[in-house]
């Protein structure tokens, strides 16, 4: 298959040329799949998310303004497709983090926090706690399944989930304090 420049791919995709669309998809698919697979172990779900993202890329490619990298632009669209998917199809991650907070505290923090912000905080968790949290809160696995998957006990899985929640609450409280400090 011929190698295209980004400019040729963009022009071809704007003109709805199938070869250009296929070339763009083939060129960027592996990177986008790796990004999505960091958030889900379900390859079928990742493929669905990736394809939804590329559909949005093709629909919006005419809006690319050549500011920043083309791959970065694609990555942002695919990332938003992923967050949309998890917002619709999975348990809301916010409930996992905030279900122990008082209602008043929820109301003061949640409007300032977006799904993407929470995922960035989740990425800062210790490895094992992060993995358990993602499997439980995003993927919907129970502790027995997580234990089997990670070769740990159910109780260890529960501990890592509790640890992740506590650390997330601390990071959110810290972020909220610094945000309030900037407002005032």
User: What is the tally of structural domains in the chain?
Assistant: 2
Q: Which residues contact 137 (CB under 8 A, 6 or more apart)?
A: 90, 91, 93, 96, 97
**Distance between CA atoms of 85 and 94, rounded to whole angstroms?**
15
Q: What is the pLDDT of residue 99?
A: 45
Same domain assignment for residues 100 and 162? yes
Same domain assignment for residues 118 and 176? yes
Average pLDDT of the residues of the chain: 81
Same domain assignment for residues 157 and 98? yes
Answer yes or no: pTM beyond 0.75. Answer: no
- Residue 112 placed within a domain: yes
- Residue 1 placed within a domain: no
Same domain assignment for residues 108 and 48? no
Cβ–Cβ < 8 Å for 57, 77: yes
- The full length of the chain comes to 184
Same domain assignment for residues 83 and 97? no
Same domain assignment for residues 23 and 97? no
Where a domain ends, among 31, 65, 89? Answer: 89
Neighbours of 12 (CB within 10 A): 19
Is the pLDDT reported for residue 158 higher than 90? yes
Same domain assignment for residues 19 and 53? yes
Neighbours of 60 (CB within 10 A): 11
Same domain assignment for residues 101 and 128? yes
- Quote the DSSP letter at residue 16: T
Q: Domain range for residue 139?
A: 93-183
Q: What is the pLDDT of residue 112?
A: 47
Is the pLDDT reported for residue 109 higher than 50? no
Where a domain ends, among 53, 73, 89? Answer: 89
pLDDT digit string, tens, across residues 114-128: 566 777 888 899 999
């Amino acid at each position: 298959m011929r190698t295209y420049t980004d400019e040729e791919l963009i022009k071809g995709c704007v003109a709805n040329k199938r070869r250009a669309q296929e070339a763009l998809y083939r060129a960027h698919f592996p990177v986008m799949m790796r990004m999505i697979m960091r958030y889900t172990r379900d390859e079928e779900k990742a493929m669905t998310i990736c394809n939804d993202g590329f559909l949005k890329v093709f629909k919006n490619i005419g809006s690319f303004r050549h500011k920043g990298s083309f791959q970065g632009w694609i990555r942002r669209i695919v990332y938003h497709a992923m967050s949309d998917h998890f917002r619709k199809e999975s348990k809301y991650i916010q409930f996992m983090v905030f279900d122990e907070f008082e209602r008043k505290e929820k109301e003061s923090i949640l409007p300032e926090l977006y799904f993407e912000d929470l995922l960035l905080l989740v990425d800062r968790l210790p490895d094992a706690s992060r993995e358990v949290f993602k499997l439980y809160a995003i993927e919907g696995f129970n502790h027995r399944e997580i234990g089997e998957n990670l070769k740990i006990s159910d109780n260890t899985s529960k501990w890592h989930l509790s640890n992740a929640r506590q650390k997330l609450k601390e990071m959110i409280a810290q972020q909220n304090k610094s945000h309030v400090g900037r407002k005032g």
